[in-house]
Amino acid sequence: MGWFWTSEQTLLLRAIDARVTILLRKVGELMAALDELRREVEETQGVVDSAIVLLGDLSQYIRDNVGNQAALLELAADLDSKQVELADAIAANQPPTPEPPPDDEEESGI
């Protein structure tokens, strides 16, 4: 004896399948977003590591030139220009404000 689905069961299975498909799509989107976030964290860590080295070198340069006012004034001017460059780079690389995602729950009936 074979197994037969009623039309009501078939509709229910199709609705479940549609919801599972939506959930799988959302999981894929979340995984892609997570991968992007990981990449950005790695990039940021590289910048932080570079800044740490720079600050260490800067501290040593100041100690080495404590009696050389001209060298320290030149360093101060260089730091001022780098500060402006850094502020401009940060401002230029700010991501746009994301728009809120559409509410898929209303569409899918979940």
Task: Identify which has the larger pLDDT, 100 or 25.
Answer: 25
Closest by CA position to 75, among listed 87, 86, 63: 63
pTM: 0.46
Q: Is it the case that residue 95 has pLDDT exceeding 70?
A: yes
Mean pLDDT to the nearest integer, 5-18: 93
Does residue 78 lie within any of the structural domains?
Answer: yes
Other CB atoms closer than 10 Å to residue 39's CB: what's the count? 10
User: In terms of residue numbers, what domain contains 72?
Assistant: 7-90
Please indicate, yes or no, if residue 96 is contained in any of the structural domains.
no
- Is 66 domain-assigned? yes
Instruction: Locate 53 and state its tokens.
Output: 């080295």
Q: What is the pLDDT of residue 34?
A: 94
The total of other beta-carbon atoms located within 10 Å of residue 37's CB is 10
SS3 of residue 97 by DSSP: coil
In a domain, 104, yes or no: no
Q: Output the pLDDT for position 104.
A: 61
DSSP 8-state class, residue 43:
H
Inter-residue contact 65 to 71 (CB < 8 Å)? yes
Say whether 58 sits in a helix, a strand or coil. Answer: helix
pLDDT at 84 over 80: yes
Residue 62 near residue 75, CB atoms below 8 Å: yes
- Quick check: is 106 in a domain? no
63 within some domain: yes
Domain-located, residue 76: yes
**Predicted local distance difference test score (pLDDT) of residue 14:** 95
pLDDT of residue 48: 83
Domain count across the chain? 1
71 inside domain = yes
